[in-house]
Amino acid sequence: MKRDQRRANHDKVEAPTLVEIEYNGQLVVVPRRIAKALPYLTERELGKLGVEL
């Protein structure tokens, strides 16, 4: 029973929601979870996450 419930929850996983945010005067499209942290990340860290500036 528990296994079936876990499996059902796992099947609900969706692609991340993309949002447009302004960063250094440029519009950047990033997943929402990264958008919240954007002001605190360096350009090098953003590059590692796959964000192109």
Which residues make beta-bridge pairs with 29?
20
**Residue 13 pLDDT:** 72
Domain boundaries, the chain: 15-53
Tell me, rounded to whole angstroms, the distance of Cα 10 from its chain centroid. Answer: 18
- At residue 17, the 3 state secondary structure works out as coil
Tell how strand 26-31 and strand 18-23 pair up.
Answer: antiparallel
pLDDT by 10s per residue, the chain, length 53: 566 777 776 667 788 899 998 888 888 888 888 888 888 888 898 888 887 77
Are the C-beta atoms of residues 31 and 17 closer than 8 Å to each other? Answer: yes
Whole-number pLDDT of residue 3: 66
pTM, 2 dp: 0.56
